[in-house]
Structure 1
Amino acid sequence: MKILLTMNLPWFPAVGGANKCNRALAEGLAARGHEVLVVVPALAVPSRWSREEVRQELGSRGIAVRVEEGTDTFQSAGVEVVAVADPARLRSELAERLRTFAPDRIVVSSEDPSQNLLDAALKAQEAPVIYLSHTPAFLPFGPQSFYPSERRARLLSQVAGIVAVSRFVAQYIRRWGGLEAEVFPFPLYGPGPFRDLGGAGTGDFVTLINPCAVKGIALFLALARSLPEVRFAAVPTWGTTPADREALAALSNVTVLPAADDVERIYERTRILLLPSLWEEAFGVTAVEAMLRGIPVLASNVGGLPEAKLGTDYVLPVRPIERFTDRQDANAVTEPVVPEQDAGPWVAALTALLADRELYARQSAAARAAAHRFVAGLGVEPFERLMQTMDGRTPSPAPPAPRTKAVTAGEAAPGELAALTPGQRALLMLRLRKRTAQKPEDDVQDLLSERGLS
């Protein structure tokens, strides 16, 4: 089968869950004999890499890059990747590749809040379209949606099928979008064997990956201050701001580690992994990665994180984020209002694990066993079966009206604004302020497009 996958995320480096999931899926399908083409942006927005640095890193891994006007093309584990330099050209490049590649299935990832890639895939009418949903934040409906829109919600009713990364996401889609989604746990953890790093006791640090507001840096800093004798590590990725780095640098017991495409480099230095997220995570890839290596994980009780803990201990309470400000941080992400957190349960759990060797050994063994059972049942074969069933081009019934109503820049009325969550109102107002010179009919999709998100 010829499969085209597109996402508004770069292929390399893959340091986020969605990147890793999509890359593992594409490479797994290629290994099963499918012809797979991927169309992606060359860089993230904003990016800490230059296009030349990405080429050099790929070259160091023995991957030859063909540089053409506006694109870098290369082969990765049997997958042909077309990386588009200019985000504004991503849609047109996708349309051209759909025409010339003539796929049997088109797979569109949710990390494109304007749904511009999905719109292009549906309009091309080249093949049935399958939508991969990795997070509620980029869905066009429901209370967790950053960019709610009835029009974009209707696009989802036209796909041949929706695939969700977790039961939590599938339930969210059913509740707020009125659509059914199939759950597919992505086989992104590698074939193993996985070193028993917890049992070996090689790790020095209590680690947080992607320290930022939504990922619970406030709790992390509180733990580091409460336990000055404990060595902590932070691994900045897409959400970490200069202010976050300053806060980390101010604590002598916190070490900043560079992000790594090879997760083993992080986990071999980790004794306990923290996942104190304050927003509703879709799943928790890093939880399973760490548990496979016998590293106990302390995770918050929000979103899909309890699901990712696979029935193991230490799912801890937090006060989740409920609203956002009208300010953007240095990464162009809207700043949340972070509720005051009670670090007490986290301090108690962490202290117990570090002080009691027998308790740590039991938790390490339980985490490793649960993760190995989970991963043993993963593979791309279930996705192949889903592709076979998702073969229709007839739109599914339109969903009921989303619980959060779309608001265009020129049509927002008081009643419509009231339907938005505080975070969504903050996002809308911020964008409206920046678009006072725009015509009334220009809607939120234009705002996303000019930010390189379409």
Structure 2
Amino acid sequence: MDIVFAGGNGYPPQAAGGVQSSTHHLARKLADTGHRPQVLAPLYGEGWFGLQARARLKLSGKGFVTDMTQGYPVHRAWFPDQVANTVVRQVQPDVAVIQCHGTVPIGRAFAAAGVPLVVYLRNVEFAELGGDIRSLHGARFIANSAFTAHRYAETFGIEATIIRPSIDRTLYETSPDGDLVTFINPVPAKGLDRAMEIAAHCPEIPFLFVESWQLSPDQRRDLAKRISGYSNIRFEPRTNDMKGLLRRTRVLLAPSRWEEAWGRVASEAHCSGIPVVGSTRGGLGEAIGPGGIALDYDAPLADWVGAVSRLWADPDHHAALSSAALKYSLRPEMDSARQFDTFLSVVEDAARLRTAA
């Protein structure tokens, strides 16, 4: 099948995060099994890649440009919904998998071109949908957690197949030998304030703050200023070597204040038996499970400090939760082959609509 993933989120190398990682993993699996994945994403004009793409876009005359930076075609346009019909004429997709920002207008554009829809529900930021998701008649729905599925059922009456985020274990599985408490994505929504409070009360513990969402120059300067007074906090820019990062990590810290749909960083850490101390916001507690300690974001600071300190200093406690984390990562719901089979069954079910028509 020809399958297009389309949404209003940027795509590598211009943007990175859980949505992009999960989509890329699925696209690679599709290509490995003889299908033809493609992506339609917004174009950002910044940076060398963006400047080159802008120049090519002006010359193309078709509203989007295509690159093979990810090993499969990625189409980029200023406004994906406005070029959906043109992409359909060129690609002739059997199914469009719509996700995240602009789900409704992008989905409507593909549906108007006669393409069956699968809507992948990856967050509960309903304002980002761009309309009433119930207007996408005939669409099949996938949710990335029980929490996400429940919220959409409760709010819109939508039933979704639950498929947890796909993870390529080979990119994360390692034998940790470090002593760092690692906090990935040091931005306010992900619990930056709470992480800094914990670090302030644990001066003997080395903390590593690692960029995930790309920080603007102003954000980077502000963060550098905030952590400059902490001798136990170090910052590192985003890395594609997650295995190397996890090898240095003893405890993963995820004190998110955002209503997470899932908690991909927790699942990635679990692949290496790294316990997580994180919040119960949204689906993050579901992702952590028995592989760590989940606390209410507003729990007393002493509870957060105690959870991190004990995991860092108590070998027996750490070993027990490490074992539980690794076991949790191997549960059937996180088996990538099973996840892919379920995903493919939903996509094939949607594709049958075109055949029937």
Please say whether Structure 1 and Structure 2 have the same fold, judged by a TM-score greater than 0.5: yes
In 1, Cα distance between the equivalents of 2:259 and 2:172?
31
Which of 214, 218, 225 is 1:246 aligned to?
A: 225
Partners of 1:159 and 1:26 in 2: CA distance = 23
Aligned to 2:322: 364
Once the two structures are TM-superposed, the CA of residue 80 in structure 1 deviates from its matched residue by 1.8
Secondary structure at 1:259 match in 2: coil
TM-score by length of structure 1 reads 0.69
Whether 1:129 aligns to 2:129 is no
Q: Percent identity of the aligned residues?
A: 26
Cα distance in structure 2, aligned partners of 1:111 and 1:270? 32
Tell me if the contact between 2:290 and 2:321 (Cα under 8 Å) persists in the aligned partners.
no
* Alignment counterpart, residue 346 of structure 2, candidates 386, 403, 411: 386
**Which of the pair is proportionally richer in helix?**
2
Decide which of 65, 80, 92 is 2:73's aligned counterpart: 80
Provide the rounded CA distance (Å) in 2 between the counterparts of 1:97 and 1:34. 18
- Distance apart, 1:120 and its partner CA: 1.5
Asked if structure 1 preserves the Cα contact closer than 8 Å seen for 2:120 and 2:141, the reply is yes
Alignment of 1:22-61 (within 5 A): 22-43=23-44, 49-51=47-49
What are the equivalent positions in structure 2 for 1:278-427 lying under 5 Å apart?
278-319=257-298, 342-374=300-332, 375-376=334-335, 378-391=338-351
Higher relative contact order (CA 8 A, sep 6+): 1
Report the 3-state secondary structure (helix = DSSP H, G, I; strand = E; otherwise coil) of the residue aligned with 1:136: coil
| Partner of residue 234, structure 2 | 255
Inter-partner Cα distance in structure 2 for 1:72 and 1:34: 19
Change (3 A) 1:28 1:318: same
- Per-residue CA deviations over 1:221-253 (Å, capped at 9, x if unaligned) read 101111112111111232753433421233221
Counterpart code for 1:300: S
Structure-2 separation of matches of 1:264 and 1:43: 28
2:200 matched to 1:220? Answer: no
Deviation of the 1:11 alpha carbon: 2.7
* Kept in 2: contact 1:10–1:40 (CA 8 A): yes
1:365-406 CA-to-partner distances (Å, cap 9, x unmatched) read: 221122133533644111111112234659xxxxxxxxxxxx
- Partners of 1:99 and 1:302 lie apart in 2 by 42
SS in 2 for 1:214: helix
Aligned-partner Cα distance in 2 for 1:7–1:148: 10
Instruction: Tell me: CA distance 1:211–1:193, structure 2 relative to 1, closer, same or farther (3 Å).
Output: closer
Matched residue, 1:275: 254
User: Would the aligned equivalents of 1:74 and 1:82 in 2 still touch at CA under 8 Å?
Assistant: no
**What residue number does 2:22 align with?**
21
Show CA shifts across 1:202-236 (max 9, x none): x2321111112111111101011111121111112
What is the TM-score when the length of structure 2 is the normalising length? Answer: 0.86
CA 1:182 to 1:358, structure 2 compared with 1: closer, same or farther past 3 Å? same
Q: Deviations over 1:10-57 (max 9, x none)?
A: 33136311111111111111111112221222439xx6x4416999xx
CA, structure 1 residues 344+379, in 2 after alignment: closer, same or farther (shift >3 Å)?
same
Q: Tell me the SS of whatever aligns to 2:347.
A: helix
Extract unaligned runs of 5+ from structure 2. Answer: none
Distance in 1, matches of 2:293 and 2:52, equals 38
1:72 shift after superposition: 4.1
Match of 1:120 in 2: 109
Quick one: structure 1 residues 36 and 290, their matched pair in 2 at CA, closer, same or farther if it must change by over 3 Å? same
Which of 99, 113, 123 in structure 1 is aligned with 2:89?
Answer: 99
Tell me, in whole angstroms, the C-alpha distance in 2 between the residues paired with 1:364 and 1:53: 45
Amino acid at match of 2:17: G
- 1:163 is aligned to 2:142: yes
Q: CA–CA distance in 1 between the matches of 2:52 and 2:90?
A: 26
* Equivalent AA in structure 1 for residue 133 of structure 2: A
Report what 1:153 is aligned to.
133
Residues 288-332 of structure 1: CA deviation (Å, up to 9, x unaligned):
11111121111111210121123334111223xxxxxxxxxxxxx
Report the Cα offset of residue 83 of structure 1: 3.0
8 Å contact from structure 1 (residues 298, 315) kept in 2: yes
1:67 deviates by 11
Residues 118, 155 of structure 1: 8 Å contact kept: no
Structure 1 stretches of 5 or more lacking a match? Answer: 56-64, 140-145, 320-340, 395-454
Q: CA distance change for structure 1 residues 225 and 372 in 2, over 3 Å: closer, same or farther?
A: same
CA distance 1:9–1:192, shift in 2 (3 Å): closer
Distance 2:239 2:252 in 1: 16
Distance 1:380 1:264, change over 3 A: same
CA distance in 1, matches of 2:128, 2:172: 41
CA–CA distance in structure 1, aligned partners of residues 139 and 50 of structure 2: 38
Instruction: Map Cα deviations across residues 398-451 of structure 1 (whole Å, 9 max, x no partner).
Output: xxxxxxxxxxxxxxxxxxxxxxxxxxxxxxxxxxxxxxxxxxxxxxxxxxxxxx
> Given the superposition, is the C-alpha separation of residues 68 and 31 from structure 1 closer, same or farther in structure 2, using an over 3 Å criterion?
farther
